[in-house]
Amino acid sequence: MTTPMPIPLVRVRGDHRAVGRQIGEACEAEIESACRLESALVGGQTVDGQRALAAEYRSVTATAYPWLMDELDGVAEGAGVDPLDLFAASIEEIWTERPSQPTGDTAARPDPGKCSDMVATAPLTTGGATLVAHNNDLGPGSEAQLIALEWNVDGEPPMFTIGIGPWISVGWNAAGLSLTGNELTPNDERVGIPRLLQVRDILRQTSIDDAVKSALHPDRASSYCNLLAHRDGTVVCVEGSASEAELLRPEAGRMAHTNHYVADRMIPFEGDPEYAERSAVRYRRARVLLDEMAATGEPITTAALRRALGDHTDAPDSLCRHPEDGAASKTVFWCVADVSAGTIAYGRGNPCDSMEQEHAFAG
């Protein structure tokens, strides 16, 4: 295998419109590709029909987050695309093939957006530090489009995110908040704030309580499993759907989550029971690895969590996913954050073979 090149870093600064314009200019090619809506149509979908549906979601979002619409319109301006097409590309709920996350092979659809998360905290870490590890699995075509952004938005805490264009996969802010998580398949999706855009509001928050409140916005269209951590040691996994949610917390200093509902009262909202069985393979393995680390009696470290992210047991449904093992999607990036210290190690591609990069918040 060949170690992938680093993920490029772009710094943006100013008000929402200015920041959006800078992102649009920096990611013009990726955004323009995502806005070719005709390339993502399946079944009886039409471009006009998808735009009309997107306008309904946009109306709800504009009422809830007018600042976000200003930011996204800046992105569209910077990239030279139609604002409604950009918004349509931001609504995972209305697509089978996501315009913003290329598969690399439209003839064989991978399992998009499938991710694995592991958390270790007190009493298993040195000084009770909160450590969060994440593998992000997408279509192979997404790996080349990744970008890291340093956001300095007027009136908001500085942020660091990894994703594609303006679309955030994971992020942290200088107020001590960490947001990772993984995609679920709720069966109660509805017109509302797209989950892919809702994470932008979550990352503006300065406390876990406010981040949870944002994740549970009553006008959300659906939900991810939003795994939230704070440098104060609080960890909450918001396992949500459009209409319901359960808050999960670490047990004995550790937690894992993959791409299916695990809370008893959320299981009825599972929209893909067949895939949930495959997700459970990674979930069980992550829990075993955390248990094994805890059993050594030594503090769990960021290095140990990266090794766990690189685990290939149960391939192709392993934590570290490779197409050569038969996986349709692959691990396109990984990250391990010491949330307490405000440092993030990350890299493009698989954690077992990747150049490590680092971001640290001042202070």
pLDDT 10s digits, 293-343? 999 999 999 999 999 999 999 999 999 999 998 888 999 999 999 999 999
- Strand arrangement of the beta sheet that strand 343-348 belongs to: 254-257, 114-120, 131-138, 330-338, 343-348, 357-360
Number of domains in the chain: 2
- Residues spanned by the domain of 316: 114-360
HSE of 355, CA atoms in CB hemisphere, 13 A:
8
Residue 249 structure tokens: 């917390």
Q: In terms of pTM, does the model score above 0.85?
A: yes
Q: Is residue 4 part of a domain?
A: no
pLDDT for 106: 38
Tally of CB atoms within 10 A around 80: 12
Calculate mean pLDDT across residues 96-105: 64
Do 157 and 51 share a domain, yes or no? no
In whole angstroms, give the CA distance from residue 279 to residue 55: 33
What would you report as the CA-atom Rg of the chain, rounded to the nearest whole angstrom? 19
Q: Give DSSP secondary structure letters for 190-225.
A: -SSB-HHHHHHHHTT-SSHHHHHHHHT-TTBS---E
Q: Is residue 192 a contact partner of residue 221, using CB atoms and an 8 Å limit? A: yes
In whole angstroms, give the CA distance from residue 274 to residue 266: 16
Q: Please check the confidence at residue 110 and state whether its pLDDT lies above 80.
A: no
Do 118 and 53 share a domain, yes or no? no
Do 185 and 241 share a domain, yes or no? yes
Per-residue pLDDT reduced to its tens digit, 159-216: 999 999 999 999 999 999 999 999 999 999 999 999 999 999 999 999 999 999 999 9
Per-residue pLDDT reduced to its tens digit, 218-254: 999 999 999 999 999 999 999 999 999 999 999 999 9
pLDDT for 4: 77
Calculate mean pLDDT across residues 19-34: 98
Do 160 and 28 share a domain, yes or no? no
In whole angstroms, give the CA distance from residue 97 to residue 93: 10
Q: Is residue 70 a contact partner of residue 20, using CB atoms and an 8 Å limit? A: yes
pLDDT for 12: 98
Q: Is residue 248 a contact partner of residue 237, using CB atoms and an 8 Å limit? A: yes
Calculate mean pLDDT across residues 59-81: 98
Q: Is residue 277 part of a domain?
A: yes
Q: Is residue 345 part of a domain?
A: yes
DSSP 94: G
pLDDT for 100: 65
Q: Is residue 62 part of a domain?
A: yes
In whole angstroms, give the CA distance from residue 321 to residue 204: 31
Do 190 and 157 share a domain, yes or no? yes
Mean pLDDT of the chain: 95
Do 74 and 135 share a domain, yes or no? no
Do 62 and 182 share a domain, yes or no? no
Do 201 and 292 share a domain, yes or no? yes
Q: Is residue 212 part of a domain?
A: yes
Least confident of 97-101, 106-110, 135-139: 106-110
In whole angstroms, give the CA distance from residue 190 to residue 91: 11
List of residues 6+ apart from 38 with CB closer than 8 A: 47
- Specify the length of the chain in residues: 363
Do 151 and 279 share a domain, yes or no? yes
- Among 94, 128, 152, residue at a domain's last position: 94
Q: Is residue 259 a contact partner of residue 114, using CB atoms and an 8 Å limit? A: yes
In whole angstroms, give the CA distance from residue 121 to residue 235: 9
Do 136 and 259 share a domain, yes or no? yes
Q: Is residue 237 part of a domain?
A: yes
CATH of the domain at 245: 3.60.60.10
2 forms beta bridges with none
Do 202 and 347 share a domain, yes or no? yes
Q: Is residue 109 part of a domain?
A: no
pLDDT for 25: 98
- Among 38, 64, 94, residue at a domain's last position: 94
Q: Is residue 82 part of a domain?
A: yes
In whole angstroms, give the CA distance from residue 65 to residue 85: 18
Do 179 and 271 share a domain, yes or no? yes
- Among 64, 94, 124, residue at a domain's last position: 94
Nearest 5°: CA angle at 31, between 81 and 344?
Answer: 140
